[in-house]
């Protein structure tokens, strides 16, 4: 099945999301390098980082059907185990779907975070967005929002994020689409109606009427 492979975004902005724990050098997350954006918590304080809204991912072929979204990030936490607080898709300036904040980030040396590559989602995971379309994915406002928990520690704890990449899994529009209960689906070349098989490449049925 076609996929974009893991690609990096081209734009990032920060938003408080109810937190004042700011990021230093947030632009590093849209550069495929070892440089990092960092967010440090005060001593003995568990705090949530500001949100990073990362958008501007490469487009997919127009007319394709989205079947899955994977996100890969290179991230580390110094001082104690950390966790993702928000990992969610965005489109049009709002969060969409469900929060995927399940990965725990392994602890590393205090004030010297080791970066781990963690993957969220999959080839058949739409992140709770039932209506994710090619138009949405190809929009410059489509992307992912990230925030993390910087846990309590004896020293300042820091979240370091090197990059975030998305991999979009899709089925290209090859003209073999059928409509089932109001939902467009990829056909296998033939559809059955009233016990009669008809070629999907030539015919489709909408509102009870066969159309070329």
pLDDT digits (tens, 9 = 90+) for 66-121: 999 999 999 887 765 566 778 999 999 999 999 987 666 765 544 556 788 889 99
DSSP-assigned letters across all residues of 55-98: E-PPP--TTPEEEEEEEEEEEEEESS-EEEEEEEEEETTEEES-
Residue range 145-165, pLDDT digits in tens: 998 876 665 556 678 899 999
Share of the chain above pLDDT 70, in %: 66
- pLDDT for 48: 81
Range with the lowest mean pLDDT among 57-71, 85-99, 118-132, 179-193?
A: 179-193
**Residue 146: what pLDDT?**
92
pLDDT given for residue 98 in this prediction: 95
More confident residue, 3 or 35: 35
**Burial (CB count <10 Å: 0-12, 13-18, 19+), residue 93:** exposed
pLDDT given for residue 43 in this prediction: 66
Q: What domains sit in the chain, N to C, each tagged with a CATH number?
A: 7-171 (2.60.120), 177-211 (no CATH)
Residues 191, 179: Cα–Cα separation, whole Å: 10
Q: Which strand (E) or helix (H) includes residue 145? A: strand 143-150
- Enumerate the β-bridge partners of residue 167: 70
Better-scored residue on pLDDT, 47 or 178:
47
Tell me the CA distances in angstroms from 131 to 91, 134, 201, one per residue in order: 12, 10, 24
């Amino acid at each position: 099945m076609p996929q974009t492979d893991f690609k990096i975004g081209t734009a990032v902005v920060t938003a408080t999301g109810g937190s004042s724990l700011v990021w230093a050098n947030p632009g590093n997350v849209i550069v495929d390098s070892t440089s990092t954006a960092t967010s440090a918590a005060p001593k003995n304080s568990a705090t949530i980082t500001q949100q990073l809204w990362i958008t501007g991912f490469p487009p997919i072929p127009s007319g394709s059907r989205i079947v899955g979204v994977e996100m890969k990030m290179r991230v580390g936490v110094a001082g104690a185990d950390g966790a993702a607080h928000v990992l969610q898709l965005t489109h049009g300036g709002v969060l969409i779907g469900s929060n995927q904040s399940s990965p725990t980030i392994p602890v590393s040396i205090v004030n010297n975070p080791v970066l781990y590559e963690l993957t969220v989602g999959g080839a058949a995971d739409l992140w709770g967005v039932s209506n994710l379309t090619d138009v949405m994915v190809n929009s410059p406002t489509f992307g992912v929002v990230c925030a993390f928990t910087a846990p309590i520690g004896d020293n300042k704890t820091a979240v370091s994020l090197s990059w975030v990449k998305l991999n979009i899994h899709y089925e290209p529009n090859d003209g073999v689409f059928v409509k089932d209960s109001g939902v467009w689906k990829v056909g296998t070349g033939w559809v059955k109606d009233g016990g009669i098989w008809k070629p999907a490449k030539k015919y489709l049925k909408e509102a009870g009427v066969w159309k070329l």
